[in-house]
Amino acid sequence: MNKTCRIINLQEEYSQLFKENISLLENGAPEQMNVLRAAAFDSFISKGIPSNKVEEYKYTNLQPYFKGTFDVAFSSDGAINNNSEKFHCGVPNLDTYNVFMINGWFAQQDELSTLPKGVIIGSIRDKAKEHPEIFEKYYNTNAPVDSDAMVAMNTAFAQDGAFVYIPKGVVVDKPIQLVNIMTGENDRLIFQRNLVIVEENAQVKMMLCDHTISPQKFVINNLTEVFANENSIFDAYNVQNQHNLTTQVSGMFVHQKKHSNILTNNLTLHSGVTRNNIRVTMDDERCESHVYGLYLSDKNQHVDNFTFIDHAKPNCESFELFKGVMDDSASGAFTGRVLVRPDAQQTNAYQSNNNLLLTENAKINSKPQLEIYADDVKCSHGATVGQLDDEAMFYLRARGINENEGRILLMFAFAYEVIEKIRVEPLKENIRSLVEKRFRGEFDKCDSCVVCGQQGSSVSCL
């Protein structure tokens, strides 16, 4: 069932939306989800949708984007409308295990039979009820509901999403991909909540891709909590490919235990307004984390990556690299908070943010924020903002390569470092060619998705 809400004053109507529909929100949702709603709602309402007066959202005022008249789905059949029947997924070159969501709600998935025994994948609503002991142990234990209004909002309103559980010692040989299709006949507000648990000594690689396939305005608040337990390996590749009317607030909150090794890579290839909240808590010794991102923006697009690496325990290593290419009047922000707590001796933390501004109107705010309370650590950070290298350009032209082709080669060269960090070979190839197409201007959202092969339809090619 869909409800239409008209948001003008934010808190007022969001409050009303929650209170009027609390029974619909709770209907069929796991108990633990419902138990947490009220407190999360209070936290959300007391803070409100962040404006740029909130320090952590200084460069992205979300308030205007969360106003409007939106459909909100309060049940699966509300989210999965007629439009979404049309999608069909063929996977080029990528052998993956696919889970489809529509407007944040679980829609369908591939046969599970080929997956290793004990792996649980499905709708968070269903799986939480089948495995309450797992769900209740983890759900919302690593999401900063009290400090971030958008996390609180998600916890208050989310009703569905993906649940992924990899049992002890299991290595999932092919990547799991969560495809979220956004579609509808009216503008839409979407919530999605994913929970990923990688048990001791287990390994999994995931791809998340969010697509808009109809031309309406979409406002998305999605959140993924990840628990990487002892000696586990976890990769997440988030491919963001949406039309210009989309606003996405995407949370990735990773909790690490001893000897775990995690990688997140946010590839923002096309978007309207994107805010990525990435937080890694290294809550045990000898953790390793790799936090990467690539954002390619033009027109009036805006991408804000807010990262927080929490070195809570000694002997951990983190590697952070974000690169951006901004064209036209695109704007962006990067915040890299690294916290080394007092006991976290022998920490190695490296951070780098490099930006290429192609026009005078493009803008980036880069803000490294290192807070170091231990005395025996190695931490470094670097932020650069620059233009294409004239000397390299002349070198290319002196070999007969025209200026436009030279620009593409150099932009690609700039971006490649992040693409090289992808630990799934076929995905790396696909992203490589997609990024090149993006720079050539041949790419639009009508291109099939690199990950899921989803073809855009012409109407949605805004």
Partner 1 sequence: MLVIKDLHAKIDDKEILRGINLEVKPGEVHAIMGPNGSGKSTLSSVLAGNEKFEVSDGHVTFNDKDLLALAPEDRAREGLFLSFQYPVEIPGVSMVNFMRTAVNEHRKYRDEEPHTASEFLKLMREKKKLVEIDSNLTNRSVNEGFSGGEKKKNEIFQMAMLEPKLAILDETDSGLDIDALRVVANGVNKLKSENTSTIVITHYQRLLDHIVPDFVHVLYKGRIVKSAGKELALELEEKGYDWIKKEFED
Contacts of 296 (CB under 8 A, 6+ apart): 268, 269, 270, 324, 325, 415, 435, 438, 439
Cβ of residue 321: shortest distance to partner 1, in angstroms?
13
C-alpha span between 319 and 322 (Å, rounded) = 10
Query: Considering beta carbons, is residue 146 or 420 the nearer one to partner 1?
Result: 420
- One-character DSSP codes across 340-400: E-TT-TT-EEEEEEEEEE-SSS-EEEEEEEEEE--SS-EEEEEEEEE---HHHHHHHHTTT
Q: In this structure, is the dihedral angle defined by the CA atoms of residues 48, 178, 90 and 297, taken in order, positive or negative?
A: positive
417 binding partner 1? (CB under 8 A): yes
**Segment 302 to 321, residues that bind partner 1, using CB under 8 A:** none
Query: Considering beta carbons, is residue 374 or 408 the nearer one to partner 1?
Result: 408
Cβ of residue 295: shortest distance to partner 1, in angstroms?
17
Instruction: Figure out which of the listed residues 24, 39, 416, 453 binds partner 1, where binding follows CB under 8 A.
Output: 416
Q: What is the dihedral of CA 410, 415, 417, 422, to 10 degrees?
A: -140
C-alpha span between 277 and 370 (Å, rounded) = 17
Instruction: Figure out which of the listed residues 413, 441, 459, 461 binds partner 1, where binding follows CB under 8 A.
Output: 413
In this structure, how many other beta carbons lie within 10 angstroms of the beta carbon of residue 322? Answer: 28
**Segment 372 to 411, residues that bind partner 1, using CB under 8 A:** 389, 391-392, 394-403, 405, 409-410
Query: Considering beta carbons, is residue 385 or 409 the nearer one to partner 1?
Result: 409
**Segment 121 to 140, residues that bind partner 1, using CB under 8 A:** none
Query: Considering beta carbons, is residue 372 or 401 the nearer one to partner 1?
Result: 401
Asked whether the beta carbons of 109 and 84 are under 8 A apart, the reply is no
Query: Considering beta carbons, is residue 409 or 462 the nearer one to partner 1?
Result: 409
C-alpha span between 125 and 1 (Å, rounded) = 16
Instruction: Figure out which of the listed residues 414, 430, 443, 456 binds partner 1, where binding follows CB under 8 A.
Output: 414
Cβ of residue 406: shortest distance to partner 1, in angstroms?
8
Q: Is 382 left (phi over 0), alpha (psi -120 to 50) or beta?
A: beta
Cβ of residue 391: shortest distance to partner 1, in angstroms?
5
Cβ of residue 389: shortest distance to partner 1, in angstroms?
8
C-alpha span between 22 and 71 (Å, rounded) = 16
Distance of CA 187 to the CA centre of its chain: 21
Query: Considering beta carbons, is residue 207 or 267 the nearer one to partner 1?
Result: 267
Number of residues that bind partner 1 (CB under 8 A): 22
Cβ of residue 439: shortest distance to partner 1, in angstroms?
12
Cβ contacts of 145-148, under 8 Å, gap ≥ 24: 145/36, 145/39, 145/40, 145/43, 146/43, 148/56, 148/251, 148/277
Cβ of residue 324: shortest distance to partner 1, in angstroms?
15
82 binding partner 1? (CB under 8 A): no
Asked whether the beta carbons of 266 and 210 are under 8 A apart, the reply is no
Query: Considering beta carbons, is residue 288 or 417 the nearer one to partner 1?
Result: 417
Cβ of residue 427: shortest distance to partner 1, in angstroms?
19
**Segment 268 to 297, residues that bind partner 1, using CB under 8 A:** none
Query: Considering beta carbons, is residue 187 or 417 the nearer one to partner 1?
Result: 417
Q: Return the structure tokens found at 264.
A: 């997140």
120 binding partner 1? (CB under 8 A): no
- The mark string for 219-238 relative to partner 1 (x by CB under 8 A, - otherwise) is --------------------
Query: Considering beta carbons, is residue 17 or 435 the nearer one to partner 1?
Result: 435
**Segment 186 to 205, residues that bind partner 1, using CB under 8 A:** none
Cβ of residue 420: shortest distance to partner 1, in angstroms?
9
Query: Considering beta carbons, is residue 146 or 389 the nearer one to partner 1?
Result: 389
Numbers of helices and strands, H then E, in the chain:
10, 21
Across the beta sheet with 233-241, the strand order is 105-109, 97-102, 176-182, 203-212, 233-241, 261-270, 288-297, 317-326, 348-357, 378-386
Cβ of residue 271: shortest distance to partner 1, in angstroms?
23
Cβ of residue 356: shortest distance to partner 1, in angstroms?
12
CB under 8 A: which stretch of 74-82, 350-358, 412-420, 421-429 binds partner 1?
A: 412-420
Query: Considering beta carbons, is residue 396 or 462 the nearer one to partner 1?
Result: 396
Q: Which residues of 96-122 are buried (b: 16+ CB within 10 A; e: fewer)?
A: bbbbbbbbbbbbebbeeeebeeebbbb
Contacts of 19 (CB under 8 A, 6+ apart): none
Residues that bind partner 1 (CB under 8 A): 389, 391-392, 394-403, 405, 409-410, 412-417
